[in-house]
Structure 1
């Protein structure tokens, strides 16, 4: 299967790869739940456009997490496409809940978070955060 194959191709430098993947899949499940629940969580930061900022941060975190684990180019590309699609799909599905609504601005914010993660993951220090964390912990 696709996911099993991707797991086998994850960054071999990660000793705790299964843990990192479990956390990553749990984060995806959390975002799916928060996106589709009829009782959305409201966080008041007092910042303008806070809703859009939270969308950017959520998809930045998700994408960054998986780009830490997968370093093979076509796998990274697959995750990027997956998260862009997930952001579009979940936002679209919100329109079917009478207590929620679908918003193009949220779709854009989700995609912007994914793109920001791709940009940051191009830097060596950002790309190897989990690898460096494991090295420090195992000393």
Structure 2
């Protein structure tokens, strides 16, 4: 999962600041927005505000277009595939955690075979002495 720090997705940069940071014309940012490559937040006055995550995404777009010569349609496909890969990575990580939990349960059952025949499956660690009640 693309773990964003809490402030990375906070919209704080105006279009002129982002244009200067990335050394591009504000019209280029507007074009990228029209193409759906980046979607800045808007203030009540309709001013575009970009987050650090938006800026990072714009840097990837610029790298693909400037350094690799990818056109905007190609950039869109690449970014979409990247997002899907991140989602798949998150799913794999969740699956690994689930398998690890199952392995732990199997180990507990192997150490305590009487658990298999119990009506309520508990381990000794789950039990509390009656004096504690």
TM-score, normalised with respect to structure 2: 0.29
When Rg is computed on C-alpha atoms for both structures, the one with the higher figure is 2
The structure that is helix-richer by fraction is: 1
Q: Which structure is higher in RCO with an 8 Å CA cutoff and minimum separation 6? A: 1
